[in-house]
Amino acid sequence: MKLKLVLITFISAAVFLFALFIGPEPMSPFNMSGIEKEIIFSIRLPRVLVSLFMGMALGASGAVLQGILRNPLADPYILGISSGAALTAAFGIITGLSLFGIFTVPLLAFIGAVIAGIFVGAMGWKRGGFWPERLLLAGVGLGFLFSSLLMLILSISSDAKLKRAALWMFGDLSLADWSIIPFGFIFIAAGIAVSLSKAKALNALMLGDDLAHSLGFSPKRERFILFISVGLMTAASVSLGGMVGFIGLLIPHTGRFIAGSDSRALIPVSALGGGMLLCIADLIGKSVLSPVELPAGIITAVLGAPYFLYLLRRRDVLGA
Partner 1 sequence: MNYRANVIGFRVHGIKQNRARLLFFMLSLLTLNFSFLTAVGAEAPKRIISLSPSTTEILFAAGLGDNIAGVTTFCDYPEEAKLKDKIGGMSNPSLEAVVSLKPDIVIVTTDGNPEEFERRLRSIGIKTYIFRARTIPELAGGIRDMGEALDEKERFDALAAEIEAGIDKIKSERKTRKEKVLFIIWPEPLVVAGPRTEIDDAINMLGAQNIAGTAVTEYPKYSLEEIIRQSPDIIFIGAGKGMDSVSGGLLNRLSNLKAVKEKKVFFVSDHLYRLGPRVIKGLEELEMHLNK
Site residues (CB under 8 A) for partner 1?
A: 24-25, 35, 38-39, 42-44, 96, 98, 101-102, 105, 156-160, 163-164, 167, 172, 174-175, 177, 286, 290-293
Which is closer to partner 1, CB of 61 or CB of 88? 88
Residue 75: what residue type?
Answer: D
Alpha-carbon radius of gyration of the chain: 19
Q: What's the min distance (Å) between Cβ of 288 and partner 1? A: 12
Q: What's the min distance (Å) between Cβ of 196 and partner 1? A: 34
Which is closer to partner 1, CB of 179 or CB of 197? 179
Beta-strand (E) ranges in the chain? 125-126, 129-130
- 282 with 69: CB under 8 angstroms? no
Query: What CA–CA distance (Å, rounded) separates 14 from 23?
Result: 14
Quote the DSSP letter at residue 125: E
Which is closer to partner 1, CB of 90 or CB of 123? 90
Which is closer to partner 1, CB of 13 or CB of 102? 102
CA separation (Å) from 93 to 51, 156, 159, 178?
21, 13, 12, 20
Q: What's the min distance (Å) between Cβ of 182 and partner 1? A: 16
Helix, strand, coil abundance in the chain, percent, nearest 5: 75, 0, 25
Q: What's the min distance (Å) between Cβ of 224 and partner 1? A: 37
Q: What's the min distance (Å) between Cβ of 253 and partner 1? A: 31
Which is closer to partner 1, CB of 148 or CB of 158? 158
Query: What CA–CA distance (Å, rounded) separates 64 from 57?
Result: 11
